[in-house]
Chain A
Amino acid sequence: MTGAGAPRSTPGTGRHAWAALALAAALHAAVDAACGVLLWGAVRDGHLSAGSAWAAFLLYNLLAFAVQPLLGLAVDRGSWARGGAVAGAALTAAGLTAAAAWPQALAPAIAAAGLGNALFHIGGGVLSLRVQPGRATAPGLFVAPGAAGVAVGILAGRAGAPAWPFVAAVALLTTALWFAWPALGGAPRSARAARAVPAPRSTSVAGPALPPAASPRLGFAVAVALLLLVVALRSFVGLDLVMPWKSDVTLLAMLTAAVVLGKAAGGVAADRFGWRPVACGALLVSAPLLAVGAASPWAGIVGILVFNMTMPVTLAATARLMPGQEGFAFGLTCLALFCGALPVLAGWTPPLGAAALAAACGAAALALWAALAGRSAARKQSDAARSVHPEERSYA
């Protein structure tokens, strides 16, 4: 049996695979923290002026997010997920070390950190998507700690914390991840092997189903476009939110915890209760909470928690549409994140009002509902097929 036809527990089998995932998640936080320390430390120490800091942040985000589809294509093509994750983390640590050693020459250090971050995200993202193929739990658990890492990095950089603890943390976790990766059972299925298996038919038991469309190609394009639209909308709304109470350190910590918890819990809840009800419901519930979030910290914190529950679903759904191309799928969602954030980062849009925020959340929920619509239809078809051919239950 090929990897594609294996039961759910393979490729990443058992506790060891989850331990490797936990290491990757911790390393994700450390890598993001290292980047935050580099950038905000440079601002604090005056190596980046107010004007140039804006440009440096924008370019860092360009390298860290927008080029990820290209890196994902390369990683998928060569089955370099493990090497990509480790090399990316090492490159980030090298960038931070260089910035600490030669603060006058920040450009190469920031470029190294940005590219390293992108490469690590791709490698770690592939790992998370292969631990439990077709599930949202593992991707949510991998991505969630990144928000905590960013927050720690910003606070540490602003406070003038030294770089070495972050370099050491990244180095230690990278080494551990390198040795833990084989716990996946040799498993990360190569992209070539996955491509050798035809993509599932839309009526198969669990194939990556598509929204109803005139042709499979059109259905595929519509599903990908809708999912990426949801990611971009979520990024735009998340960045455009104005929450003046964030200056309170306690509330800021709670807000960060809400982001982490939302992403982690979103995948678990979606796998347990269904992707559409959880993801679309979360977007709808978050709309009124975020609309009043500027005035009410508690509504804002709960709203952010619920709002972030969608993330693992959009990521896992995109990856399911592209068997054997998990790196590319992960990169596409990051490109959509960047595109959604760009209008806000570039200062092109004023903060949205409450009604516009709610409308954006509603539009995202609608798009996600449509993108996942084919999945329920395929399931009903497969249920009907199994009732006609009971022997197919052995595949379930």
Chain B
Amino acid sequence: MRSWTQAFAASAAATAASLVLAAAALADAAAPPPSGGHTGLLVLIGCVVVAVAAVSIVALRRLATRRARASALPEESGAETGGRDGPGPEDGSDA
């Protein structure tokens, strides 16, 4: 629970930061590009992408842990809880 809360808080912070930065860059984009081109803009975009990717990896790690924990449950437990999510895409079609 705590890791999920942390991931969510990080995602909210990253979203807010990316919005502020993107709004600032958009405002800047209305002006003609400086002689050096848009290097700063590309760096900003890189930072936002890395931030989003980092938060996504945290969330994916949590998902992976949950899956691993679920797969370690006894067989009966999985059956009782309906351990499936509808027939798979290849059911009746991949043969």
Q: Which residues of A contact B (CB under 8 A)?
A: 1-2, 4-8, 48-49, 51-52, 54-56, 58-59, 62-63, 66-67, 69-71, 73-74, 77, 106-108, 110-111, 114-115, 132-136, 195, 197-202, 204-209, 215-217, 220-221, 224, 270-277, 316, 320-323, 325, 328, 331-332, 335, 338-339, 342, 346, 375-376, 378-379, 395-396
Cross-chain contact B60 with A197 (CB below 8 angstroms): no
B2 within 8 A of A: no
CA distance A200 to B66 in the complex (A): 11
Cross-chain contact B63 with A325 (CB below 8 angstroms): yes
Contact residue among A73, A110, A270 (Cβ-Cβ distance under 8 Å from B59): A73
CA distance A216 to B64 in the complex (A): 8
- Which residue in chain B gives the minimum CB-CB distance to A339? B49
Contact residue among A52, A216, A270 (Cβ-Cβ distance under 8 Å from B30): A52
Cross-chain contact B89 with A69 (CB below 8 angstroms): no
Cross-chain contact A198 with B59 (CB below 8 angstroms): no
- Closest CB of chain B to A341's CB: distance in Å? 11
B3 within 8 A of A: no
Cross-chain contact B89 with A135 (CB below 8 angstroms): yes
Cross-chain contact A69 with B83 (CB below 8 angstroms): no
B residues near A199, Cβ cutoff 8 Å: 66-67, 70-71, 83
- Is chain B's interface secondary structure helix, strand, loop, or mixed overall? helix
Known A-B contacts A4-B84, A5-B82; the reply to A70 vs B55 at CB < 8 A is yes
Contact residue among B14, B42, B68, B88 (Cβ-Cβ distance under 8 Å from A206): B88
Size bin of chain B's contact surface = 35 or more
- Closest CB of chain A to B43's CB: distance in Å? 11
B residues near A204, Cβ cutoff 8 Å: 78, 83-84
Q: Which residues of B contact A (CB under 8 A)?
A: 7-8, 11-12, 14-15, 18-19, 22-23, 25-33, 38, 41-42, 45, 48-49, 52-53, 55-56, 59-60, 63-71, 73, 75, 77-78, 81-91, 93-94
- Closest CB of chain B to A280's CB: distance in Å? 12
CA distance A132 to B89 in the complex (A): 10
Cross-chain contact A379 with B52 (CB below 8 angstroms): no
- Closest CB of chain A to B77's CB: distance in Å? 7
B residues near A396, Cβ cutoff 8 Å: 87, 91
- Which residue in chain B gives the minimum CB-CB distance to A4? B85
Known A-B contacts A199-B67, A220-B64; the reply to A55 vs B41 at CB < 8 A is yes
CA distance A332 to B52 in the complex (A): 10
**Apart from A52-B29, A66-B48, 16 more pairs, CB < 8 Å:** A5-B82, A51-B33, A55-B33, A59-B45, A71-B15, A135-B86, A135-B89, A197-B82, A197-B83, A198-B81, A201-B78, A205-B84, A274-B90, A274-B93, A275-B89, A376-B90
CA distance A346 to B23 in the complex (A): 19
- Is chain A's interface secondary structure helix, strand, loop, or mixed overall? helix
CA distance A220 to B64 in the complex (A): 6
Cross-chain contact A52 with B32 (CB below 8 angstroms): yes
- Closest CB of chain B to A173's CB: distance in Å? 26
CA distance A27 to B68 in the complex (A): 38
B residues near A49, Cβ cutoff 8 Å: 32
Known A-B contacts A320-B85, A322-B63, A395-B84; the reply to A216 vs B90 at CB < 8 A is no
B residues near A274, Cβ cutoff 8 Å: 89-90, 93-94
CA distance A197 to B65 in the complex (A): 14
Cross-chain contact A73 with B7 (CB below 8 angstroms): yes
A residues near B64, Cβ cutoff 8 Å: 216-217, 220-221
Cross-chain contact A134 with B89 (CB below 8 angstroms): yes
Known A-B contacts A111-B22, A396-B91; the reply to A51 vs B83 at CB < 8 A is no
